[in-house]
Amino acid sequence: MKVSFKLNGRSVKWDCEANESLRDALRRKGITSVRNGCDGEGSCGLCAVILDGRPVNSCQILALQAEGCELATVEQQSRERKLSIVQRALVDASCVQCGYCTPAVALAVQDLLERSKDPSEEEIRDALSGTLCRCTGYEQFYAAVRIASKRLTDPGYADPAGPEFRKDLRHVGKDREKVDAAALALGEKAFVEDRVEAGACHLAMLRSPHAHAWIKSIDTAEAEAMSGVVEVLTYLNCPGAVYTTAGQGFPEPSPYDQRMFSKKLRHVGDRVAAVLAESPEEAAAALKAIKVEYEVLKPVLSIAQAKAAGAPVVHSGAVSYVVGEAPAGTSVEGDGRDDPIIYQFPLHADPHHNLAASVADGIGDIEKGFAEADVVIERKYKGNRVQCTPMEPHVVYAKIDSGRLVIHASTQVPWHLRRIVATAVGISENKVRVIKERVGGGFGAKQDIVLEDVVGYLAWKTGRSVFWRYSREEEFVASRTRHVMEVTVKLGAKRDGTLTAILMRLDADTGPYGQHCLTVPMNAISKSLPLLLCDNARFEVKSYYTNLSPAGAYQGYGAPKGSFALQTALAELAAELGLDQIDMIEKNRVRSGARIEILKSLGEGRPGAAVTLGECGLGEMLDRGMKAFAWRGPRPESSDRDWRLGRGAVIIQQGSGLPGLDSANAELRLLRDGTVLMLSGGADLGTGLDTLTSKAAAEILGLEMGDVAVISGDTDITPFDKGAYASSGTFFSGNAAVRAAEDLRDKIIATAALILGEDPADLKIAHRGMVKGKKGEISLARLAHMSTQGEGHGELVGFGNFKTEHAAFPYGAHFVQVAVNTRTGEVRLDRYHAYQDCGTPINPALAIGQIYGGVLKAIGHSLYEEMLYDDNGRCINANFLDYKIPTINEIPKDFHVELVPVADEVGPFGGKSVSEIALNGAAPAISIAIHDAVGAWLREWPFTSERVLRAMGKL
């Protein structure tokens, strides 16, 4: 049918099917700013358009309903690619992180300002109530609206500068525009889905309806014969290699226990068969024609079931080790039906008893420590399964170009992706190119290779271009989730609060496969235990296979659950001793110059070493938080008899990459006109890493930000980088960029010295783009020109590699105030202050935005996010209607982030990591505050109203 309407001021007449949504029609016609995050549930708002003057979700409107309407998308705001007032304000207020939601936010704000020139906070919340953002924590949107509002009457208005650091530097420590922000705000092509070419085939996956089953038979003949079907792939015709999907440094500390397709199905949503077809409709139709007979097995649906005697075995294949031997007493013989399991090195595993990995170690003598204690407590804490929910689901587009496999990926780990896909497909790495596009949120889930293997194989096998984008349901059940962890903490202390012994026993549920099975649970220990100084400490970590959704990396990487357990237990012990919980922290916390002995036991897959800490900002952070919360003053009291107020505070830490294990590289080229091109291996996920590497070049070479262009994460063009995980971006990729810039600077100086006839020691780089000596000067443009001519010395290129044994810990102190309704169990978060040390904040507003975003994710995890399963292992809330993530309405009334920098001697310009640590504080701080309010300890998150009432004994 024909539909005519006005789109961005121009009349259009389109052919649309009756069942085509307005969202799909707009995207089909090239309106890239219209996105999709919830598959038409109307929950995310990313497909927003202005229809007859009102913002609406275009997913729930038929294209034919637009007949005669006036329709506007964000493209209307920015004729000739110039940012509108609203878009510019969003960029200036650092609201653009991954940018997937930015066009929708821009439309909502535009509509708001047309209704209200000077909107209140309530009006701003209402305007943005329909837009989900997982990156920013929404707080900075208020500033963006305020800026845009003022510029309506005063176009030159500039908001007062935020906090600045390092007065000795031009760019570092000051807010600069994020290098990709403008393109993202304009809604231009940036993401994988924008790269799909005409004629591309579409992949659809038949998924297991059973949590645990064998495929008895599978018949794909009818599907293969259907119109448009190019290929059907099952365990019968896929490559035989087993691998891990974990994008970790090789050799990975994760077992190779996954084949592209397996005869054994290990979770609801596991791969059964893939159909490649020429249209999504044909692929979906063919899926229905595949006939499968299952032998259903009893599933393993909890850690307790996994370790019970006689439990069903999730993996029953033969076990082998590339290096080392199987632990004594474990079986390695397979049952002949299941796929093999290959460990790169021993992880104290016993997979035939569902134990994927384990580790135990410690310092001192804990029995002696507990014997010396005046008080000993033992508590068990549980954190449930949550999903990363990037607004852009997993997506990939692969094609064959000049005989090579080219993969446009939304990934955190381009180089690990290349290696794993090459292994899975059975080709060499030089046949594979990975191009990391803008990533619409990763948060750890995109550290795993969950769809690129099968897409890469089918593109390689058929020669066809292949596009596959997860549905939101697939994102829940077949992506990666945060491990369920059960942590038992035993603490002993003297009456004055001095800890004498700490024991942490941690059981984790890795799900059906073992990606990150050791390292995530281990991180729960290694990012919590070193916060407390105690001579006697021990940990025991076990990670079990179950038949629930796959676990993996998620921002914080286990640390939030370790932090929840240990910090809450410390507060419980303080309560036992009658001490203020901050006095208890002060008595035992790590501090400047402390020797952290426990790090001897906490090497990442290799022997660790004790560390003497340099400067530690925890004392300052605690002081600031105590002052803001008037901690030593009278308790806050509620005037409403239903509500009681409580406060909580915690200290937290993270790392900055993996010392001794990972490395990063960068290359910096001087171009003919004196500008430079940064080739960074780093994977910017919306975190601002490209802005950081750009700043490094501009700072060191005396340039402006616009003089630096960045290409990153392209395995053909940019040098190797370990990827964006373990809080390594700033520290590793940033330092590689610094070194590349320093290398280029040195080469510039050396070349200029030859040209000017001066001693290199007398030459300096000067702003902007000049080399100045005692006798003369030369511009970088002139230098570049001369270097690339026949009489020159060749193109000037700097190269930087960074690796280190230095561990740079960011620290933080988080304070909360909650109100708890004693009749209903409702928890209202009134105040949340995050004081964090990220070393020198390279781009302060972006750092603050990442902290807001991290904290709000953790608030969601703490209060209501939880994947729920039925008795058959099926996730029953795998969508945004039933699994709620925070909206702008969920942010605390008083939401405050403050940077307390303590420069690191190795970090780039003194910088450390910033993002992951922000997730470590909410759960324990809120739990402690709930106890402070109503006297009940919440030891399982999320702290739903129901759990609160049960803890209070009211249900």
Partner 1 sequence: MNGIVDYTRPSSLAEALEQKAANPGAAWLAGGTGILAGDSRPRPAALIDVGRLLPRAIRMADGELLMGAGASFQDIADCDLVPASLREAALTMVNRNTRNRATIGGNLGANKSCASLIPLLLVLDAKLIVEGGKKTRLGAAEWLADRSGLVLEAAIASDPGRRSSYLRWARSSCDLSVLTVAVSCIVTSAGLSSLRIAMGGLASHARRFGELEALFEGMALPPREAIEAASAPLFNPIDDLRASAAFKRLRAATLLADAMHAAAGSALAASSPAATPGVRQ
Find the binder of partner 1 among 54, 167, 632, 775 (CB under 8 A).
Answer: 54
Q: Is 570 strand, coil or helix?
A: helix
- Sorted by sequence, the CB contacts under 8 Å of residue 82 that are 6+ apart come out as none
Instruction: Give the residue with the Cβ less far from partner 1, 223 or 949.
Output: 949
Residue 736 φ then ψ, to 5° = -60, -40
Rounded-to-integer distance, Cα 845 and Cα 90, Å: 12
| Stretch of residues binding partner 1 (CB under 8 A), selected from 228-236, 537-545, 606-614, 875-883 | 875-883
Find the binder of partner 1 among 250, 759, 876, 905 (CB under 8 A).
Answer: 876
Residues of this chain, 365-394, that bind partner 1 according to CB under 8 A? none
Instruction: Give the residue with the Cβ less far from partner 1, 126 or 623.
Output: 126
Task: Measure the CA angle with vertex 394, ends 390 and 396; round to 5°.
Answer: 140
Min dist CB 59 to partner 1, Å, is: 7
With binding defined as CB under 8 A, does residue 1 bind partner 1? yes
Q: Interhelix angle for 922-934 vs 844-863, to 10°? A: 50
| Stretch of residues binding partner 1 (CB under 8 A), selected from 400-408, 568-576, 885-893, 905-913 | 885-893
- Which class for 20: exposed (0-12), middle (13-18), buried (19 or more C-beta within 10 A)? middle
| Stretch of residues binding partner 1 (CB under 8 A), selected from 629-637, 703-711, 863-871, 895-903 | 863-871
DSSP notation for 763-816: -EEETTTEEE-SS-EEEHHHHHHHHTSTTS----EEEEEE--S-----EEEEEE
Find the binder of partner 1 among 187, 369, 886, 901 (CB under 8 A).
Answer: 886
Min dist CB 636 to partner 1, Å, is: 17
Find the binder of partner 1 among 39, 180, 270, 662 (CB under 8 A).
Answer: 39
Min dist CB 680 to partner 1, Å, is: 37
Min dist CB 881 to partner 1, Å, is: 7
Q: Are 768 and 707 in contact (CB under 8 A)?
A: yes
| Stretch of residues binding partner 1 (CB under 8 A), selected from 62-70, 232-240, 291-299, 320-328 | 62-70
| Stretch of residues binding partner 1 (CB under 8 A), selected from 141-149, 228-236, 774-782, 877-885 | 877-885
Q: Are 75 and 8 in contact (CB under 8 A)?
A: yes
Instruction: Give the residue with the Cβ less far from partner 1, 42 or 636.
Output: 42
Residues of this chain, 796-825, that bind partner 1 according to CB under 8 A? 823-824
Helix, strand and coil percent figures for the chain, each rounded to 5: 30, 25, 45
Rounded-to-integer distance, Cα 752 and Cα 340, Å: 60
Min dist CB 40 to partner 1, Å, is: 4
With binding defined as CB under 8 A, does residue 55 bind partner 1? yes
Rounded-to-integer distance, Cα 156 and Cα 145, Å: 15
With binding defined as CB under 8 A, does residue 434 bind partner 1? no
- Which class for 199: exposed (0-12), middle (13-18), buried (19 or more C-beta within 10 A)? exposed
DSSP notation for 809-860: --EEEEEEEEEEETTT--EEEEEEEEEEE-BS-SSHHHHHHHHHHHHHHHHH
Instruction: Give the residue with the Cβ less far from partner 1, 597 or 882.
Output: 882
Q: Which two tokens stand for residue 172?
A: 């570092």
With binding defined as CB under 8 A, does residue 882 bind partner 1? yes
Rounded-to-integer distance, Cα 194 and Cα 196, Å: 6
Q: Which two tokens stand for residue 266?
A: 């290990």
Min dist CB 24 to partner 1, Å, is: 8
With binding defined as CB under 8 A, does residue 18 bind partner 1? yes
Rounded-to-integer distance, Cα 215 and Cα 836, Å: 51
- Sorted by sequence, the CB contacts under 8 Å of residue 779 that are 6+ apart come out as 674, 769, 770, 771
Rounded-to-integer distance, Cα 907 and Cα 656, Å: 9
Residues of this chain, 605-664, that bind partner 1 according to CB under 8 A? 640-643
Find the binder of partner 1 among 164, 716, 746, 946 (CB under 8 A).
Answer: 946
With binding defined as CB under 8 A, does residue 20 bind partner 1? yes
With binding defined as CB under 8 A, does residue 949 bind partner 1? yes
How many residues belong to the site for partner 1 (CB under 8 A)?
A: 56
Provide the mask over 107-146, with x wherever binding to partner 1 is found by CB under 8 A and - wherever it is not.
Answer: -x-----------------xx-xxx---------------
Instruction: Give the residue with the Cβ less far from partner 1, 55 or 173.
Output: 55
With binding defined as CB under 8 A, does residue 48 bind partner 1? yes
Residues of this chain, 906-945, that bind partner 1 according to CB under 8 A? 944-945
Find the binder of partner 1 among 59, 86, 105, 485 (CB under 8 A).
Answer: 59
Rounded-to-integer distance, Cα 100 and Cα 744, Å: 35
Min dist CB 127 to partner 1, Å, is: 6
Rounded-to-integer distance, Cα 357 and Cα 271, Å: 24
Instruction: Give the residue with the Cβ less far from partner 1, 471 or 913.
Output: 471
With binding defined as CB under 8 A, does residue 275 bind partner 1? no
- Polymer length in residues for the chain: 955
Residue 836 φ then ψ, to 5° = -135, 145
Residue 161 φ then ψ, to 5° = -60, 145
With binding defined as CB under 8 A, does residue 877 bind partner 1? yes
With binding defined as CB under 8 A, does residue 881 bind partner 1? yes
With binding defined as CB under 8 A, does residue 43 bind partner 1? yes
Rounded-to-integer distance, Cα 376 and Cα 489, Å: 10
Instruction: Give the residue with the Cβ less far from partner 1, 167 or 641.
Output: 641
Residues that bind partner 1 (CB under 8 A): 1, 18-21, 39-43, 45, 48, 54-57, 59-62, 64-65, 67, 108, 126-127, 129-131, 471, 473, 640-643, 823-824, 863-864, 868, 876-877, 879, 881-882, 884, 886-887, 889-890, 944-946, 949, 954-955
